[in-house]
Structure 1
């Protein structure tokens, strides 16, 4: 991979009132799976999801050009590791020891995020303790990272939507899913589910390839400004304060 080097004349310190410019647009994937509702909503230009709206605004505020791609799930991590993509959004809580790896740096926290064990109401009592997933078959989303997946048997499905369907078809008794995606799809499919034990909770951050680390100050400044002026919360509310989440 050809590393992108910053021209010395562009290597200006952020607190002096300037921003570092990437000499090419930073490449990112549209989404990590076929859908990650309500964070990404495919084929919806008017309502592309929380990150679908926030990412272009955030990087524009940071004065960084971006280039959107749509790689299949299995190719995303390979593309990041090999420089075909420059950043994505992850939670350190998904990784062993909360470490994103030596190739990356991470931004300040952007959005709080939580994953639960999800199951049907009649089975909820069996999944109130996170240790109950050990050595069990657990529904997961193909391409997603799970810090403890050595402790259970992954049964991969294409999306959170398919996890809900799998519970009702008895293909698995429990799955790991973000709370908002689970509630969204349960409502859409008219298939109630229960949020059982918390699997992980933390924050989404930008996972940025280390050769672009000089851009972090302006990215973090944009994150802080959007938190302070309410931009991030307004976008979250647009997708989470609708009737589909009132359960």
Structure 2
């Protein structure tokens, strides 16, 4: 699916799930979801206008040194985390509880590049003996939806770039609360712009994203093989929203 608003679609109201959305983001010690650790987290709720109606933030002592490269991105140093952060197990348990509560209420949770955050949370849960969220649903991933709706748009698809494209303000990129809120507002912008082509319910959209993410991974794999970045037998993991 790839559509633009100028294609003059049939009229339809924006999806009901826009009335309230959950938002979820993690900042971590690195990008390996099975090895790296959570440093900060944010879980909140946005109303239909993108206003924050509930928000909670966490700072964890991950129990390992935070690499300088990671600190340079999110601004949290090892010293700061050890001094001000709470035990990692407590933070992980509370984040799992908060995310699960939103999902159990039937509210979709928005996470930009959802497989990273949900997979990281799963492996951290297993590490600390916390029952993990095995099959989160409904989830909305603005990265997947944007690629599906506007496939041929050139340029990067980082949160900062995509937020700017949809005129969503992002003042503090790579800070968990700012990223989470911006991702939620991007999801709402996508729903407003592409409502006629998107499924009417969050659960239907969740199911569609599973297929879209798989197809996007396959397409990117083929491209990487063509330019020599991957070997012909290698494939990118297209599982979504958790790997």
| TM-score class normalised by the smaller sequence | under 0.3
The two structures have a TM-score, normalised by structure 2, of: 0.27
Query: Which of structures 1 and 2 has the bigger CA Rg?
Result: 1
User: Which structure features the higher share of helix residues?
Assistant: 2
Decide which structure has greater strand share.
1
